[in-house]
Amino acid sequence: MMSFFFSQISLSEFGLDQTNLQELNERTILVKKWNWDYGLAHKFQRKCLELLEAAPQTRILICCSHPRVFTNGRGLQKPRKGEVLNLVEFDKSLAARLPFPFYQIERGGGLTFHHPGQMIIYPIVRLNPKTLSLSSMINDLFDYAIDTLKDWGLSGLSHENKLLGLWHGDRKLASMGIAIEKLTTFHGMALNFYKDEEMKRALNAVNPCGLNAETYTSVEELMDLKNKTLDDFADSFLRRLAHAWK
């Protein structure tokens, strides 16, 4: 399936080769690349959307990280009736002053950040209200991250919060921003695995997802990793997803 599916494109155009590809199950292709240039990864997501038009039953799951970069979505989360969220909108006129590259993109959400110490999951998936709705897909991504970390001994994580994300008390561990075109999702979840002091200093000048920079935390800050790596976490997370998304 994999070789046929990607025979129509040049992987090198996106900074990829065959070593970055793996079949997770009969329907799911994994593309995995750490510290992947954001522009190339975004371009690849859009190419995957084209490929899925002819093969809507195929799922492409991208697992990656990026060099330090900021991205800005279509707008901050809107409060429900009676809610007060107190989020701070990013002033786009400040984009040129940011210390890292800035991309205006099509996902939901406000300004967010990426760095090499994150695990990012971009599901390129055709939604179906009977088999995989948007809400169930988002819940799955959060739940499998929670289950993986719980196995490692980290408890107290939840995505049952009025603000979308994965939370440990009042600290945010992962962000979610999804775009949908022709019922197919792209963009996704970014989970902070390692802390990044340089990015943390840069965040003090902005409000990622409308929040104070001190709201954000990482797995490394919440627990003793005991030599566990980002690859270890990704592999355990992906095994859960491969088993569930058959």
In b/e form, how buried is each residue of 135-147, taking b as 16+ CB within 10 angstroms? eebbebbbbbbbe
The neighbour count for residue 188, using CB atoms within 10 Å, is: 24
Crossing angle for the helix pair 134-151 and 230-244, nearest 10 degrees? 130
Q: Judge whether 63 counts as a catalytic residue.
A: no
Q: Please pick, among 48, 63, 64, 209, the residue that the annotation labels catalytic.
A: 209
* Catalytic positions, written as ranges: 209
